[in-house]
Structure 1
Amino acid sequence: MKHIGKIAIVAAMIGAVCVALMLFGARLGLWQPITGFGLYRSALTPLGAVILGLGLLALALHLIRKETAGAVMGGVAALVGTACLVPLAAATLNPPMRAAPIHDISTDTVNPPRFEVLDASRAGASNTLDHGGPELAAAQAAAYPDIAPLTTALAPDAAYQRALTLAQDMGWEIVAADSSRHRIEATARTPVFYFADDVVVVVTPQDTGSRIDMRGVSRVGRSDQGVNAARIRDFQHRFGQ
């Protein structure tokens, strides 16, 4: 037990690296996003509990022995362990609202924009790009009634160029940009875990301007946790600024 403080701080450092890899390992190309997410859900809490336990043990023993350096290392380790347990505590005290079990969101659920370049070969995809039809439309209307097409006074060419610029500014990976047909296909990724959502934007002429439709489909998971709806809202808000 003489070196329990050192053991605790080393465990905390290793734990911090492990958590970083859970969150950003997919971005580094180590695995698919779902792997990092699975590790986060299954390993974060026990990892935090072990580090917290070691830290508290080291803190107590070194305080009894009046060994300041060891006590400090134990305290730091305990803080790292506590940080790992914060998500569990937050979810317990304030359970998040359960998102609708859908992952395909479109501003037009009657004639949803179709993907023409992105297909089933996209990396890590287990969800299809085929729209779920009336059943999905009803589920989306119940969960996200505000999602609707965006209308603008801009002419189609100008609206398309603004949409393309916004897509680039939002960090999407542009897969296809067809200026003649006013279509954009892209892949957007979440900052944490690096989940991929495929996006299509279509601009159509209107009597007094243009209509912009957008659709986002998550590659994995039954639910997208509201990410695609939030992205559509963000895009439309930015477009209107």
Structure 2
Amino acid sequence: MRNFGKIALFVAVVGLVVIAVTVSGPRLGLSEPIVGFGLYRSYLNPLGAAIAVLGVLAVVVHAKRKERAGIAAGAVATVIGLACLAPLMASTLNPPRRGAPINDITTDTVNPPAFEVIDETRAGARNSLDYGGAEVAAVQAAAYPDIAALETDLSPDEAYERALEVAGDMGWEIVAADAERRRFEATARTSVFYFADDVVVVVTAQEGGSQLDMRGVSRVGRSDQGVNAARILAFQEQFNQ
């Protein structure tokens, strides 16, 4: 038991490495985003609890023997375990708002922009690009009433170029761009787990300026947890800066 603290600390470090690989695996191409997310959701809390318990036991054992090095190692392991449990504690104290059960958000629910280049063969896709119609539109209106087309005083060509610039600044991968028709399709990814969402942007001429419509569709998941709506609003805000 003399090395109990070192053992606890070693287990904690290994646990951190496992978590890091799980989270970064999709970005590094080691796993699909949904796999990394599933592993994280299933095993983070049990792993954190095990590390924390092991750390506390190490502290108790070495405290009885007055072994400072062992106490310190056990304490560090305990902190690592509690850090792993932090998301669980935070969500327990402040439960997150449940996302609307849709994964397709658009600024035009009557005539949503269509994907012409990105299709059903996109990697890892489980959701269709076909719009769900009135039912999806009703859910969106209730959950995200602030989603609407962006109107600007810029000319259509200027608005199109500005939209492409913003997409690039936000790190989107432009898949296809048609300057003549002022539309482009892109893939945007979440910072954590690297989930892919496909986006189409269309600029149309309006009296005194132009209008910009967008649509974002997640490749997996019944709900996108509000990611596409937040991305559209962030895009529009940055566009106007």
TM-score range, shorter chain: over 0.9
Distance 1:115 1:238 in 2: 23
Moved over 2 A (4+): none
| 1:25-36 alignment, distance < 5 Å | 25-36=25-36
Distance 1:4 1:102 in 2: 49
| 1:7-156 alignment, distance < 5 Å | 7-156=7-156
Please name the residue that 2:177 is paired with.
177
Please name the residue that 2:201 is paired with.
201
Distance 1:192 1:17 in 2: 16
Please name the residue that 1:166 is paired with.
166
Distance 1:154 1:12 in 2: 55
Distance 2:178 2:21 in 1: 37
For normalisation by structure 2, the TM-score amounts to 0.99
Alignment partner of 2:28: what SS?
A: coil
Q: Which moved more, 1:21-30 or 1:74-83?
A: 21-30
Q: How far apart are residue 133 of structure 1 and its match?
A: 0.6
Q: What amino acid does structure 2 have at the position aligned with 1:58?
A: A
Deviation per CA, 1:4-26, whole angstroms, max 9, x where unpaired? 11111111111111111222110
Please name the residue that 2:216 is paired with.
216
Q: What amino acid does structure 2 have at the position aligned with 1:109?
A: T
Alignment partner of 1:224: what SS?
A: coil
Distance 2:29 2:5 in 1: 34
Q: How far apart are residue 183 of structure 1 and its match?
A: 0.7
Q: What amino acid does structure 2 have at the position aligned with 1:129?
A: L
Distance 2:71 2:134 in 1: 62
Distance 2:18 2:92 in 1: 23
Distance 1:97 1:16 in 2: 28
Deviation per CA, 1:186-211, whole angstroms, max 9, x where unpaired? 00000101101000000001111110
Alignment partner of 2:43: what SS?
A: helix
Distance 1:122 1:159 in 2: 28
Q: How far apart are residue 176 of structure 1 and its match?
A: 0.7
Q: Which moved more, 1:21-30 or 1:156-165?
A: 21-30
5+ residue gaps, structure 1, are none
For normalisation by structure 1, the TM-score amounts to 0.99
The alignment yields a C-alpha RMSD, in angstroms, of 0.7
Alignment partner of 2:12: what SS?
A: helix
Alignment partner of 1:216: what SS?
A: strand
Identity %: 67
Q: What amino acid does structure 2 have at the position aligned with 1:7?
A: I
Q: How far apart are residue 57 of structure 1 and its match?
A: 0.7
Alignment partner of 2:174: what SS?
A: strand
Aligned residues: 241
